[in-house]
Structure 1
Amino acid sequence: MTGAAGDPGAIERALAAVAPERWEAYEGLLRALANGQVWMLLWHGSPGSPDAQYGNMDVGGHGYAPCVTSPGQLSASGWSRGHEVVSGPEIAGSLYRSRWGLWLDPHRPGGGVGVPWADLRRIAVGLDRLPAGPLRITEPPAQAPQFFTVLEQQAAEVRPLRSLRRAWVQPVLGEPYLAIGLDLYDTSPPAVEAARALVQRAAAQAPEGPAVSTVMMADEFDPVAMWMWANSRPFFDRQGAPGSYPTGFGYTAQPIPGPPPAWPQPRWPGYPGR
């Protein structure tokens, strides 16, 4: 499916600026992808056909679909099979749900740049709606007793709410914040709104605290929710006995498992039969 491109050269210019630890440049690349299009390399089939299949790469045990960023790069790659032009948001939404990343211009010297599936999810959902990774996630560094007191006092009144968890999230760009994980019996919009309103009320009554965001524990693609499931215990649990969980922040926290940084880049391993 063909996608529209606002500036045909934006992705290539952004790609040229990316380097290790230059997170602002990497964010620029994600923005260019969100507003542009890529040329997906087809290993089987033709564009739009039922048997069309993208190429694939395995890098560090993680799957990536390779693409090129312009007709010129398509020619330079020497790719002789089919290709499909797809908008950045469309391919991001398609790949991240299978936990596949996108690899840009793997034929270039140095191997191009890989975009892990977690960043494709940000493109699909909206870059301004999700924090910039890689994320450093730990237990909150200090207590906010008034905030948590209000949460625990009122949580039982929100009937769809099963449990609450917490984490301290430090994006690679932007300010750190307190994330509250919402584990619900019912994930319908009214239930979600009721749970989020609970957190907003508690935050309003404790204005001295840090910025607060909510995370749906049912979201299997949210890295903060993934970390909470693996590393934290509920501070409110409707099904548990009162006081069965400690209220401090003394749990041992491990870094969230996930795709490794995209640098240094391995060379393009190519495809079977090439």
Structure 2
Amino acid sequence: MTTGAAGGGAGPWGPAPGADPGALERALGEVAPDRWEAYEQLLRELAAGRVWMLLWHGTPGSPDAQYGNMDIGGHGYAPAVTSPGQLAASGWARAHEVISGREIADALYRTRWGLWLNPHAPGGGVGVPWADLRRVVAGLDRLPAGPLRLTEPQLPGTERFYALLEQQAPSVRPVRALRRAWVQPVVGEAYLAIGLELYDTSPPAVEAVRALMQRAIAQAPPGLAVSTVAMSDEYDPVALWLRANTRPFYHREATPAPYPQATPAPYPAAYPQPAYPQAPYGGSLPPQQGWPQQPWTGR
């Protein structure tokens, strides 16, 4: 993927009309450990705004253009700043690229890279993990807010719901297997997730599975929120947790292979929490030093 013009406008997503250019920076200043509503506001401003990506090599649009790289706790982040003022304060002496928050989120999460905002700032800035960049792209209201607490569901009154799924799934030919999890987002209501493993994802197949779920939900306890997740989605943290920690409660084939019996974690390893720096990543770095990691090669 090539880069845009240095110092130019946002990428093809573009900033939201009338977006406040200082809103992202102000939201960043409100973020702190366990202040989840403030972190959600930061994600909203990132989706509407733009960032200044720091190029480790090359210039925007050149074949050798590469973003910088930071490694925090085994997770990779590309550094960025939130305004021309922060760019000047960082002392960054190499090239940079101005790009919309949604566009860079779309580019980074697909290779499981996060975005680190203002790493030069006092305290070291804040890292947005790739799973939250995925939420920025797909819509913050469409995907649950992590970190997620995922467990096996222990819900009274769901017997008829599961029974209907098990009885009717054999007649819905696209369905290979069904799994379940109780999902507790850090912000928002908890819900029952049904993991769908399908043979076929064509529109008629998806419609048949949707009708099956609607019939089953009619038998669910009143007030129970139910959602589905595609087990084929390699970026969905609920699907990743289901595959690693559960066995299907329905499987079309005779005897499914045993599934790993891992100890459930409060959230899957694929969904790192928002990152806060620890030495040596906090504080300002000399301009000539930069970020001493290997460059990200995904763009």
- Scaled by the length of structure 1, what TM-score is found? 0.92
User: 1:271 maps to what in 2?
Assistant: 291
Match of 2:203 among 171, 189, 192: 189
* Distance in 2 between residues matched to 1:98 and 1:114, nearest whole Å: 16
Shift of 1:252: 7.3
Deviations 1:229-254 (A, max 9, x none): 00010011001259x99xxxxx8751
What letter matches 1:261 in structure 2? Q
Contact 1:139 1:253 in 2 (8 A): no
User: 2:297 maps to what in 1?
Assistant: none
The answer to whether structure 1 residue 157 and structure 2 residue 171 are counterparts is: yes
The answer to whether structure 1 residue 213 and structure 2 residue 227 are counterparts is: yes
Contact 1:42 1:81 in 2 (8 A): yes
Give the secondary structure class of the aligned counterpart of 2:77.
strand
Alignment of 1:224-235 (within 5 A): 224-235=238-249
The CA RMSD measured in Å over matched residues stands at 2.0
User: 1:248 maps to what in 2?
Assistant: none
Deviations 1:57-91 (A, max 9, x none): 00111100000000000000001111111111100
User: 1:123 maps to what in 2?
Assistant: 136
Contact 2:50 2:82 in 1 (8 A): yes
Relative contact order, higher structure (CA 8 A, sep 6+): 2
Deviations 1:164-220 (A, max 9, x none): 000000000111000000001112233223223211210023343611000000000
User: Greater CA deviation, 167-176 or 251-260?
Assistant: 251-260
Identity of aligned residues (%): 68
Shift of 1:49: 2.0
* Distance in 2 between residues matched to 1:12 and 1:165, nearest whole Å: 41
User: 1:172 maps to what in 2?
Assistant: 186
What letter matches 1:190 in structure 2? P
* Distance in 2 between residues matched to 1:252 and 1:271, nearest whole Å: 36
The answer to whether structure 1 residue 29 and structure 2 residue 55 are counterparts is: no
The answer to whether structure 1 residue 254 and structure 2 residue 264 are counterparts is: yes
- Scaled by the length of structure 2, what TM-score is found? 0.84
The answer to whether structure 1 residue 11 and structure 2 residue 24 are counterparts is: yes
Alignment of 1:20-169 (within 5 A): 20-143=33-156, 144-169=158-183
Contact 2:127 2:276 in 1 (8 A): no
Q: How many residues align?
A: 267
What letter matches 2:28 in structure 1? L
Closer/same/farther in 2, CA of residues 175 and 260 from structure 1, 3 Å limit: same
Contact 2:128 2:275 in 1 (8 A): no
Deviations 1:24-54 (A, max 9, x none): 0000000000000000001111112222110
What letter matches 2:270 in structure 1? G
Closer/same/farther in 2, CA of residues 252 and 54 from structure 1, 3 Å limit: closer
Shift of 1:141: 1.9
Contact 1:138 1:253 in 2 (8 A): no
Give the secondary structure class of the aligned counterpart of 1:201.
helix
Show structure 2 runs of 5+ residues with no match.
Answer: 294-299
What letter matches 1:12 in structure 2? E
Closer/same/farther in 2, CA of residues 210 and 259 from structure 1, 3 Å limit: closer
* Distance in 1 between residues matched to 2:43 and 2:23, nearest whole Å: 11
* Distance in 2 between residues matched to 1:120 and 1:102, nearest whole Å: 8
